[in-house]
Amino acid sequence: MYLQWVFGKYVPRLRLLTPQTVLKCLLIITVLYKLQNKPESEEPQVVRRKTLPSVLIIGARKCGTRALIDMLNLHPQVCNQYT
């Protein structure tokens, strides 16, 4: 071991790091990094995808568009966009 001048002080410095020491340091750094970035809750995240509608009803005012939508929503195989 010898001294090295760092930031105005003499600091002891090792001449040689063994491979075991390097691996231990890397392991500790990796574990600390994983713990730091670990989410607090272990609940799975739900991914919601936006999908395009299969039918789009467009109509002018007073042409019965609302009535058509209401009648289609009564059918059991038609899904309302708000449900």
Phi-psi region of 29 (alpha: psi -120 to 50; beta: other; left: phi over 0): alpha
Q: Are 11 and 3 in contact (CB under 8 A)?
A: yes
Quick one: pLDDT at residue 18?
Answer: 72
Q: Are 57 and 49 in contact (CB under 8 A)?
A: no
Q: Where are the domains of the chain?
A: 2-36
Tell me the mean pLDDT in the region 60-83: 78
Tell me the mean pLDDT in the region 35-62: 73
Quick one: pLDDT at residue 37?
Answer: 64
* 11 vs 71, residue with greater confidence: 71
